[in-house]
Every structure is written in structure tokens, then in C-alpha cells.
Structure 1
Amino acid sequence: MKTDRFTLDGKVTIVTGGGQGIGKVVAGELADQGSDIVIFDLQDATEVANQIAEQHGVSAMALVCDVTDPDQVAKAIDQAADRMGTLDLLFNNAGICLHKPALECTPTDFTKVVDVNLNAIFFVAQAFARWLVAHNKQGNIVNTASMSATIVNIPQGQASYNSSKAGVAHLTKSLAVEWAPLGIRVNSISPGYINTEMTGNVREDWRQIWTDMIPFKRMGSPEELAGAVIYLLSDAATYTSGADLIIDGCFTVV
């Protein structure tokens, strides 16, 4: 009998930042592998959850949650578990980007980016892991870092984003080591330039420069990230933790 180690049947996955962009697309792909879905987003993503449920025949719900607020996160985790009956997986994806030269970046600018991109990743992972431990369960986490954790993007200035994502990559490794004895795997993906609402609003000349620098000569799509997330969350990756998978069309290779 053939076993599909990539299946997520019977699992419940939390997706942060699932109302749009990478989170929305990957949530749908996770549902296509059989996972029930809980979206955490600052905006009400109920319509997205309903679409996922209808298209993929799974249970899906959305909770409004400010992931930078640990109290809100802990309450949302409990609410999700109560509604779904359990929790298994986390795609810890919410993030923002600020294109602003470092000399012009205010303390508020920098702190906001770090709060969303790094602090919130920790708050959600911590609350999720605490729930797992309290319920004697194992589980898996995939954080969204970025190729910006490895290289410095040009021509735009985005020191706040780059440093926050470097923090995510190393936080992932730290949590992976700490939580290995608990049976909780923690990995990250590091996307390159991906066509989303975030990148679609930037200057066209920047987009052209980026495309020219990418060996694939195009930006990626959110769908092209989904396979990595599915692999890392699934039983196909039971010996993989602390890894950062760069998905960038060879951008960081050259």
C-alpha cells in the first residue's frame, strides 16, 4: 500500500497573515493537501476562509489577531483549538516591509518592522508550542524569513526588513534546537522576490532591476513557495529541523 508522506489529512494548520499574498495562497495549497485551516490576520479574513473551505472541502475559519500582541495571540490560539478541536501545524508568515533608507528610518519605523517580522514570529511560535506542550502533542512550525536574511537588497534601502528577517532565520534555528526534545520541528523558508500585493506596489524601475538580477529573469509566485511549506510541515520532513530553505530563482547564488 502506497503511503503519501506529504499528506496533511486530519491536521489543523494556523496561517498568520493569511488574508492576502503568500499566506492566502499557501493556506489554500495546505488545504488542498487535506489540512483544516485557521487564518490569523489583522483584518477579517472570513471571506478567504470561506473560499478555502468551499474549494477544498476542509474546515476553515479566520480570527482577527494582532500578532504583535502576546495576549491576543494566546487567546486566538485557545479559540482556534476550541473551534477546531486540536492544533497541529503553524505557518508563521505575517510580515511587512518598509523601503526607507537607514538615515531616514525613525525609531518608530524600525520598531514597527521588527515587531511584526520578528517579535510576532516569536510570540506566535511560543504560544503555539506552549499549547502543544500543555496538551502533550507534537507539531511543526514553518516561519517565513527571506533571502534578505542572507543578502542586502538593492537599489532600495530596507535595513529594518533585512535585519528582522535575519533574526527570523536564526530564531528558527534556536527554537529548533530547544524544542527538538519536545517533538516540535521548526524550519523556515526564505523567499526571493515574489509577485504579491507587497511587491506590486513598489516602483516599476525597482521591479525591473530585480528581474534583471534574477537568473530566472522573473519574479516568483506564491504558489512556488507552497511545496516547500508542505514538505516542511509534513511527515516527509521528520528529520528536518532548523533548516532555512531559500526559494529565490538563484538570486542569492550569484
Structure 2
Amino acid sequence: MKCEHCGYDAPERAVICPECGEILPRPKKAEEEETEKAAVQKKTAPDADSFSMPFLSAPADLEKADGIAAEDPEVLRRQKQEKTTRLTRRIVAAAVTAAVVLAAVLYYVFFGGYKLAVYRYVKGVDRESGSMYVALVPDAYMDYLETTYSTTRREVKSMMQDYFKYWNKNYGTDGRMSYDIGKTEEITDADEISALESELKTDYNITVEIKKAVTVSVNIDDGGTKASEQATFVKIGNRWCCMKAMEDIDFVCQNDGYNVW
């Protein structure tokens, strides 16, 4: 034991320092040391109400890096499922968008503008479809037919259908019609467009504004019988119409449809 007064190393069980005579401190018992240690820990321990482990407030990325899951497995499972669902929706949306764009491109390439009108012009006869042919005329023209011949749109479709049946039976062939578009010439001269508008006014008493016009040479193969026709297509409003189709429909209505044939 070391004397606290003079620093002399006294024997282990000495009570008084042999050097200076001061009373030596008694060695602490184990129980006293444990009691004192507990008291010190109690003073330095944090309050229970404000206590929190450091990892409970750690950032999410740190938790993931340390492999610590802050939420229960059910919450994590739902989050994973929602993430998968959102990813699936984005993939589906992207696929739908791509399909729409592709359809628009194909439509423009094969049926864009007047090309759809050319299709109706040929296939209306081939498929004996009065509906396809009537789609080639403006609404004002249908009003002219109703006023002039006292007929309705449905009756016109029916007459054209029967007319095409008669034509295919007597003049057509057993094969299906195919076609390709040959020479195409866009009409840009204002006087020529004005002349077309005057023609519609004179022949059918309708006043319309032609936005665009094009003359198309159509090469038709009717089951091996080949022919070439030229037709003028005009854009009235948002619809491409065919001047030749108007002539055909007016001719059929003048002769009371299929009864003449």
C-alpha cells in the first residue's frame, strides 16, 4: 500500500505508515467497489425517456449498406410489389406508345392523305360496298342527292352495292382486284382548284372549299385483266373525296339504281 501523505510503500496489511506515522487508507472491499461503480454508471447513464440507439435514426442508405432493415418484412414486401407494379405499368405504357406510333406511321405510308380514298375507290367496287363508295363524297353532296332524287344515304348505299354486283357479274372477273398507285400530280394552281369548285357547283349545286387536290393514275388488276384509270381526289374539310365517285353515284341515282340494269 502506498502512503497518501509521504508516498512510502507500506506493507500490504499495515495500518500506519512506518515512515511518517500517518494512518494508511483501508483497501476497498469488492462489494464497496461494485456499489461505487454502479453509482458512477447511474450518474452517467442517459435518461430513459430521451434514450435512443444510434442506428434507429440512421439514414436509410446507411441502413441498407449495413444490412439493417428499419421496417418490418410486410412493409418491405408491399414496397417491392408496388415498385414492380410501377415498372410493369411503365413498360406497358411504352409498348402501347410504340404501337400507336407504328400504327400511325403505317397508316401514313399506306393510307395517308388521298391514299385511303384511292383504296375505297377500288375496293368499294371489288367488295361491292356501297358504304365505302359513299365515304368518298362530302355531306353536301348527299344533301344534293336527297333533294334531287328524294333518296336517303341508306338507299344510296344499297343502290351502289347492287350496281357493283351487276357490274362485277357482267364485266368483272372472278379474281380479286389489286391495284397500285402510278403517276400522281398535285394540283396547286389556284385557278385549277377554283375550276373544280365551280364544277361541283354547276353539276351538283353544292358550294364547298377545296383545300387540296391531286390527280392519281391507278393501275388495276382485276383477276388478270389489267387497266389504268385516272381520278381526281379533292380534300373537302377533313375528308378526301373523289370526283369520279360523285359522277358514278349521280349516274346510278338518275337511273333509279339497279332496276335499270
TM-score bracket for this pair, using the shorter chain length = under 0.3
Of Structure 1 and Structure 2, which has the larger fraction of its residues in helix? 2
**Largest Rg, 1 or 2:** 2
TM-score between the two structures when normalised by the length of structure 2: 0.20
Q: Considering Cα pairs closer than 8 Å and 6+ residues apart, tell me whether 1 or 2 has the greater RCO.
A: 1
